[in-house]
């Protein structure tokens, strides 16, 4: 999925309560949720290199073992060289590694859910796997996760402006994409209005921290349910495609 969805997933996990596990928990969840996309540097090597290497080594089973140690180790180094010198509470290595592993795993799983797919078994096997459940840019993921994160992280004028810009970006995407049904556009705008109303009413992390934490858990469950239902709904379509291809294949 797109970097926004990955970032919102890591942030939602933190806001749902995991940020209390250890200092630097939020940082490790957000960084870990994005780090497999380090292979984006291959885009600078040309179109073929990008296609050959994207969603491969850094998204496969070996990366799921190695990357959590890289992320957690980097943040522990920062903790010891910067934070502790400032007298801040030290991060705990074990919990930080566990959160790093959780965050890293979310990334290939979300990428697998769309039709671009990924190579789960790299570097041992280069086969592609496709979930065909969600779009690479899925506005409903932006709406539910972004809505709660807006309530959790919009205390400053700059924060509010950033979320407003994000809402405008999403709305432009919804309104200018011809394939989006009118009903979906109405639901999108209604969702934005609801988030804005809650923000104006003071439903924020500063005033209602328990409510925001529960809401973060709820949207993560909703996201998981939405992904699961979408995956199941595509199974009949896949069967139809297989049957059509089989029928069209030359007979011996």
Of 11-15, 41-45, 181-185, the one with minimum mean pLDDT is 41-45
* pTM, full prediction: 0.89
User: Tell me: the pLDDT tens digits for 37-60?
Assistant: 998 887 777 777 777 777 888 999
Cα–Cα dist 102/33, whole Å: 8
Cα–Cα dist 191/211, whole Å: 18
Asked if 172 and 141 count as a contact pair (C-beta separation under 8 A), the reply is no
**CA nearest to 149, candidates 3, 20, 33, 9:** 9
Phi, psi dihedrals of residue 2, rounded to the nearest 5°? -75, 160
User: Tell me: the pLDDT tens digits for 211-237?
Assistant: 999 999 999 999 999 998 888 888 777
pLDDT at 130: 86
User: Tell me: the pLDDT tens digits for 112-169?
Assistant: 998 888 999 998 998 998 888 888 888 899 999 999 999 999 888 888 999 999 999 9
């Amino acid at each position: 999925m797109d970097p926004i969805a990955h970032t919102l997933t890591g942030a939602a996990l933190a806001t749902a309560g995991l940020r209390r596990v250890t200092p630097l928990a939020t940082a490790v969840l957000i960084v870990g949720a994005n780090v497999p996309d380090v292979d984006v540097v291959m885009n600078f090597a040309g179109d073929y290199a990008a296609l050959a290497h994207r969603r491969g080594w850094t998204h496969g089973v070996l990366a799921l073992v190695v990357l959590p140690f890289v992320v957690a180790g980097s943040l522990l180094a920062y903790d010891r060289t910067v934070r502790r010198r400032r007298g801040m509470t030290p991060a705990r290595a074990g919990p930080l590694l566990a959160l790093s592993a959780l965050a890293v795993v979310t990334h290939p799983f979300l990428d697998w859910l769309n039709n671009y797919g990924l190579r789960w078994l790299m570097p041992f096997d280069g086969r592609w796997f496709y979930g065909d459940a969600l779009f690479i840019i899925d506005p409903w993921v932006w709406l539910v996760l972004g809505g709660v994160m807006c309530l959790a992280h919009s205390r400053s004028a700059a924060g509010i402006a950033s979320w407003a810009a994000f809402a405008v970006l999403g709305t432009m995407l919804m309104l200018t994409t011809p394939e989006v049904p009118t009903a979906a556009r109405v639901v999108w705008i209604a969702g934005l209005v609801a988030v804005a109303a809650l923000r104006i009413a003071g439903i924020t992390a500063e005033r209602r921290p328990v409510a925001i934490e529960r809401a973060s858990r709820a949207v993560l469950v909703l996201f998981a349910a939405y992904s699961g239902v979408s995956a199941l709904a595509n199974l009949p379509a896949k069967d139809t495609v297989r049957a059509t291809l089989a029928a069209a294949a030359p007979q011996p």
